[in-house]
Amino acid sequence: MKFSPLAQNNACKITLPVEMVMTQTPTLRAAILQKINSGMIQLVIDLNQVQYIDSSGLSVLISALKKVEEQGGEIVLLSPTAGVRALIELTRLHHVFSIYEDETAAIDYICNELVS
């Protein structure tokens, strides 16, 4: 997993690993929640490399979303692979998360979301 700060102080891109399965999710969840607790509440979560995600992996995304929303932030998903997108749609999470295929558009949206 990789954290990349974005132009706005409270914005970050998180690149997730190839697999998000039960054995990895406690570590992933803790790292993401620590970033959120440190003030990163505008997140682009890059799913481009994720080849497999199970229900515990989806729960990491949902936990992160709940936490950022409590603090007035937002999460967008970036470039989910075909299999991951199918699971997101099957679980109807595409109604909960905004999904972007274009990285520039996702970053522009997140970095400008709180600027008014």
Q: Which of 8-12, 65-69, 98-102, 110-114 has the lowest mean pLDDT?
A: 110-114
Which CATH number characterizes residue 13's domain?
A: 3.30.750.24
State yes or no: pLDDT of 17 exceeds 60.
yes
Number of domains in the chain: 1
In this prediction, residue 31 carries a pLDDT of 96
Contact yes or no for 36/60 (Cβ under 8 A):
no
Tens of pLDDT, residues 59-79: 999 999 999 999 999 999 999
In this prediction, residue 46 carries a pLDDT of 98
Contact yes or no for 88/99 (Cβ under 8 A):
yes
d(CA 114, CA 32): 20
Contact yes or no for 43/24 (Cβ under 8 A):
no
Domain that holds residue 35: 2-112
State yes or no: pLDDT of 109 exceeds 50.
yes
Q: What is the pTM of this model?
A: 0.93
* Mean pLDDT, rounded, for 29-37: 96
